[in-house]
Amino acid sequence: MARQLSRWAICCLRAAAPGLDWGRGTGCELSCASFGRIMRPDDANIAGNVHGGTILKMIEEAGAIISTRHCNSQAGEPCVAALARVERTDFLSPMCIGEVANVSAEITYTSRHSVEVQVNVMSENILTGAKKLTNKATLWYVPLSLKNVNKVLEVPPMQYARKEQEDEGKKRYEEQKLDRLETKQRNGDLMLPVINPDRQTKEPHTVGYSQSSLIHLVGPSDCTLLGFVHGGVTMKLMDEVAGMGAARHCKTNIVTASVDAINFHEKIKKGCVITVSGRMTFTSNKSMEIEVFVDADPFVDEPRERYRAVSAFFTYVSLSKEGKPLPVPQLLTETEDEKRRFEEGKGRYLQTKAKRQAQMQQAAQQ
């Protein structure tokens, strides 16, 4: 019976991504996957640039499929892999309508109760054959029992080609575990949703002027086999809200430049009403940081207080009609909390900039 349930779960996941290369054997065929899809007008903004949330959703679909497949590769209780965390993701190059997004995913580390998946996204111009790397992402999943959603199962261990690979993976696991604990400590911050605000009373380029919210009723099409929201659906909504705030601030075409680590603190059940809220926290000369929270109201089946489900920082850049970077208007902070968040954002910006410069110097020396 367990294996029948497992096969049923995999068949449903196959239907979710019919273009995926599933493989039929063991080894790499179980830990690797790839699929492609042409980008349509409804995947992009008015300038023809594909939404960052669309790409994040595709990345999560690939990760969910191969991690679920791996966790069901041995005899035992059937399960579905649930997204727990996405590491910082950089959008290296814009993708446009008509290009093909080729997504490839690989399992790179397993702990007792989690799976690390690394995903690359390549854009392909099918007219010229030109390809370029647009995204690299690292995701962490945990296997949840199909019989008891609150039960986290053990992950079948993967085989490493070298001992160094396992040691490096363990180091990444410990680092993300520590970061999740730090994020939980600041996760109680309150952000009231802004519904139909009177922006004419607010000064442009202030936090209140660009703050945005979105309310969404979670339906069956948003959910996994267990009745909880797909991580990719949540990330897409978060990108939409962050994008609205960035566009209001700049009044130009904007694109997602990066997403800091996204932490999924609690599951969101079918029937919940979720409120996605975003506020600008920092601007540099050419980028802007937006903090996004997802709060859930599970009042349908089991009434309880609203809770914080997901949080993350999104970074956007402003582009001209020709796709060239434009200066970003300076964020005007009015309250002490806004000034504090601005300084914290500045610290994250400088830290990321220093890390990127160090990586470039290291690459130049090789």
What is the predicted pLDDT for the residue at 177? 86
Tokens describing residue 130? 């030109």
Tokens describing residue 352? 């990321």
What is the predicted pLDDT for the residue at 109? 96
Comparing CA positions, the residue from 213, 242, 221, 210 lying closest to residue 316 is 242
What is the predicted pLDDT for the residue at 4? 43
Label residue 117 by pLDDT band (50, 70, 90).
very high
DSSP strands (E only) in 61-180: 79-86, 89-91, 100-110, 115-124, 131-145
Label residue 194 by pLDDT band (50, 70, 90).
low
Average pLDDT value for residue range 198-204: 74
What is the predicted pLDDT for the residue at 184? 59
CA distance 205 to 333: 9
Among 322-326, 336-340, 354-358, the minimum mean pLDDT is found in 354-358
| Burial of 180: CB neighbours in 10 Å, binned 0-12, 13-18, 19+ | middle
Catalytic annotation, pick one of 43, 222, 239, 295 = 239
What is the predicted pLDDT for the residue at 355? 86
What is the predicted pLDDT for the residue at 202? 81
Among 2-6, 115-119, 134-138, 201-205, the minimum mean pLDDT is found in 2-6
Label residue 241 by pLDDT band (50, 70, 90).
very high
Instruction: Tell me 278's DSSP state.
Output: E
Element holding 154 (H helix, E strand): none
The answer to whether the CB of 311 falls within 8 A of the CB of 187 is yes
CA distance 239 to 91: 13
Which residues does residue 133 pair with via DSSP β-bridges, in sequence order? 122
In terms of residues, how long is the chain?
Answer: 366
Q: Is 290 helix (H, G, I), strand (E, B) or coil?
A: strand
Q: Considering the chain, what percentage of its residues have pLDDT values greater than 70?
A: 86
CA distance 282 to 278: 12
- The 10 Å CB-count burial string (b at 16+, else e) for 23-50 is beeeeeebbebbbbbebeeebbeebbbb
What is the predicted pLDDT for the residue at 186? 56
Instruction: Tell me 227's DSSP state.
Output: S
What is the predicted pLDDT for the residue at 281? 97
What is the predicted pLDDT for the residue at 189? 63
| C-alpha to C-alpha distances, 338 to 83, 148, 187, 280, 299, nearest whole angstrom | 31, 42, 16, 9, 32
Q: Domains of the chain, with CATH numbers?
A: 26-178 (3.10.129.10), 191-365 (3.10.129.10)
The answer to whether the CB of 238 falls within 8 A of the CB of 294 is yes
323 or 43: which leads in pLDDT: 43
Label residue 24 by pLDDT band (50, 70, 90).
very low
pLDDT at residue 28 is higher than 80: no
pLDDT at residue 2 is higher than 60: no
The answer to whether the CB of 85 falls within 8 A of the CB of 173 is no
Label residue 215 by pLDDT band (50, 70, 90).
very high
Among 100-109, 263-272, 307-316, 355-364, the minimum mean pLDDT is found in 355-364
pLDDT in tens, 272-315: 999 999 999 999 999 999 999 999 998 776 677 899 999 999 99
What is the predicted pLDDT for the residue at 14? 46
pLDDT at residue 185 is higher than 70: no
What is the predicted pLDDT for the residue at 32? 85
pLDDT at residue 206 is higher than 70: yes
Residue with tokens 């690459």: 363
Comparing CA positions, the residue from 243, 225, 237, 222 lying closest to residue 318 is 243
Label residue 321 by pLDDT band (50, 70, 90).
confident
pLDDT at residue 199 is higher than 70: no
pLDDT at residue 267 is higher than 80: yes
Catalytic annotation, pick one of 45, 120, 179, 187 = 45
- Within 44-198, residue ranges assigned H as helices are 52-71, 163-185
CA distance 21 to 202: 51
Label residue 322 by pLDDT band (50, 70, 90).
confident
| 90: annotated active-site residue | no
316 or 18: which leads in pLDDT: 316
- Within the chain, residue ranges assigned H as helices are 2-16, 28-31, 52-71, 163-185, 207-210, 231-250, 336-365
| 45: annotated active-site residue | yes
What is the predicted pLDDT for the residue at 183? 65
The answer to whether the CB of 149 falls within 8 A of the CB of 98 is no
pLDDT at residue 38 is higher than 60: yes
23 or 201: which leads in pLDDT: 201
